[in-house]
Structure formats: C-alpha cells, structure tokens
Amino acid sequence: MRFHLLDRIEELKKFDYALGVKCITLADDCFEHHFPGAPVFPGALLQEAMAQLGGALLELSLREVMDYTPRCVLTTVKAKFRDFVKPGDRVALRARITSRHEDSAMVQVDAHCDDRRVAQAEFLYVYLKVDDERLDRARNDFLDIVTKETRFVE
C-alpha cells in the first residue's frame, strides 16, 4: 500500500469498534496542489483513512477465527463530507462493525476534528484470501505499526 493514511489505532474491541487517529500536517504532499494558499485535505484521502481503519478492525478481528488471515477489500462506499479538514487538524476516527457475514462485513466510520463531525461513511468489505508472502508481510508490518500502543478491550 502506498498511502498509509492511518497514523495509529488507539483502542480496539474485536468484532465491535476501533478508535483511530490521522494527524494532518502541512508537509503532506497533497497540499502542494490542493489548494495553494488555502490548503484543504482531500476528501478522497480522508475517506481512505476511514477505510483503512475499518479494514484494520476487520482483519485484526478475523485473524483468530478464520483458517487464513483475510485481506478485507473495499467493495462499496457511501460517504458524506460535512466540513473541511486542514493542516494542524487531528482527525479522530471511530469505526464500528454494523453487520458481519461469512464472506463480508459492513463498517460505519465517523471522523471528527475536535467537536465537529467532518465526515461519515459506510463501507462494505469482502474477505479475500491472498497467497502472497510479500503482501502479507507488508500488511502485517503496517498493522504492527498502527497498533503498537493500542489498548485492546475485551
């Protein structure tokens, strides 16, 4: 994955919810063109950060109950953007599994900056078995980094 847009997962309860963070800095490459003199974090990148949290929640939950480590692949997105996200903002993300099936799951994610909701989305993921050791290693490295200080709730 080229874009790691989730800085960390602060708390996770398997098969229930995850709390994550994305810190927006002026150093992010997107601000060179979006928009000079009036930087706004692109909605597509905010949506990707939200989707990464939802996918991580599912993959970390499913690791122990499936006979393989699934890759959760996004298939459907319904999103609403309510306010701009700018450099200096700390985006708090909350993902919640709303339904889960044998081969798919629905996750709802809200994004807040301070007390204002900036976006909300509903994501449908399907579980995919990927037999590629290099991809598995890269994904596990990413999950290890973002969960380094995660509080796992029982």
Among residues 4, 33, 34, 101, which one is catalytic? 34
- For the chain, the distance separating the N- and C-terminal CA atoms, rounded to the nearest angstrom, is 30
Task: Calculate the alpha carbon distances from 110 to 48, 95, 118 in Å.
Answer: 12, 7, 8
Active site residue 34: yes
Q: Which of 134, 132, 108, 1 is nearest to 53 (CA)?
A: 108
Cβ within 8 Å of residue 141, ≥6 positions away:
none
Measured CA to CA, the distance from residue 43 to residue 82 in angstroms comes to: 10
The residues that are catalytic are 34
